[in-house]
Amino acid sequence: MEGSSSETEQDISSGDLQPKKKLKLHAEKLTIEKEPMVGFHAMKRANSTIEDFCRSYFMFHGLDANKPQSIFKFLPVLCFTESYIYQLDDLNEYNLHMVPGNNASTVLERETKAFNKASLSDMLHILDDLLQRQGLMTNQLQNELKSGIQYWSLERKLCQALSRNEKVSIQDVMEAVHLKSFDYRVLNLLMYHLTGQQVNEVHMEFLSVSEFLVEISDDLYDYEDDVINNTFNILRMFAAIYGPSEAPKMLAKCIGEAEEKYERFSKKLDPKLSESYWRRCEEATKEGGKMSGHAYGTWNIPPLIRDEEFFRLERSNKHDASAISL
């Protein structure tokens, strides 16, 4: 705000304050109309992810998440990017939502009107273009954004297959789990660029394994909600592939292999960094919910839902009954 008074005085003395003001506002309006925007709901959804990212990943950039200046310096880019991604994720999930009570053999009505004007790929290109104009785009970052499109495509393919009682591929499932954390990798790559550092591939490799375990942990925590919403969940997929008896065993094996890999990769880190990240994971585990600390040896696989359609219908009826009683 400082210095604006002198500019105003110059405009007044020359007698053209109003035209300049109108021209400036008109230019800003045109710019706003061309810029990608995010909604309040998307920002609310992104909030916990941004908090977790700062507390879990800033240490890999030599930053202290407890210092506000470290966060607020990068917050506009991080918050906008994550919110925009969540907005597209909402749009993708909107096309997967199912209405309980329809025939099991049919895919319940999916609203596709939102895709009439632009596909998810086109809409993500808008974010790509914004980051390009901000001088933040790299080939690696562009590839991670494409991973998001791949993930959403796989989620639709797999969840629609479950809806139709069709077979799903274990290769598709494992690829989807690995792709699912693309937003964290996007944010992390942005941080390397924003801080002027080269991408540390050792850190990225380690975090990729950690992200894989986190996604499994989140899926176990969200299992029932994901069944209700017909969204991707590794336990849902394993149940469809291996059956209710074998699925928990196969998932436990998958977790064990990933934890062994995690231990190997953690030894490549600086000991202090490894210890700090371990403490953060313990901290996040104690806080509960969808945070990035997986439970390290205390995994709890929930009881499998054998009839998803019946489960949705039952939950819907309970919700309706509760609403009536209120």
Distance CA(34)–CA(160), nearest Å, equals: 34
Any domain includes 194: yes
Q: What is the percentage of the chain residues whose pLDDT exceeds 90?
A: 67
Higher-pLDDT residue of 1, 259? 259
Higher-pLDDT residue of 117, 273? 273
Distance CA(212)–CA(174), nearest Å, equals: 10
What pLDDT was estimated at residue 1? 54
Q: What is the percentage of the chain residues whose pLDDT exceeds 70?
A: 77
Residue pair 177/117 in contact by the 8 Å Cβ criterion:
no
Any domain includes 254: yes
pLDDT per position as a tens digit, 70-123: 899 999 999 999 999 999 999 888 877 654 444 443 444 444 444 434 588 888
Rounded to the nearest 10 degrees, how much is the dihedral formed by the CA atoms of 142, 144, 147, 149?
Answer: -50
The closest of 126, 132, 184, 182 to 154, measured between CA atoms, is 182
164: pLDDT confidence band, cut at 50, 70 and 90? very high
The closest of 166, 169, 167, 153 to 107, measured between CA atoms, is 166
Residue-number span of the structural domain to which 156 is assigned: 37-99+118-325
Any domain includes 7: no
Distance CA(63)–CA(187), nearest Å, equals: 15
pLDDT per position as a tens digit, 43-72: 999 999 999 999 999 999 999 999 999 899
Average pLDDT (208-217) is: 96
Any domain includes 311: yes
What pLDDT was estimated at residue 9? 43
Q: What is the mean pLDDT of the chain?
A: 84
Q: Tell me the whole-structure pTM to 2 decimals.
A: 0.82
Higher-pLDDT residue of 159, 95? 159
What pLDDT was estimated at residue 118? 53
Higher-pLDDT residue of 254, 98? 254
Q: How far is CA 145 from CA 14, 34, 126, 190, 322, in A?
A: 50, 21, 11, 12, 41
Higher-pLDDT residue of 91, 148? 148
Any domain includes 84: yes
Any domain includes 107: no
Any domain includes 10: no
298: pLDDT confidence band, cut at 50, 70 and 90? confident
Tokens of 210: 């950690």
Any domain includes 209: yes
Instruction: Check pLDDT > 60 for residue 12.
Output: no
* Count: domains in the chain: 1
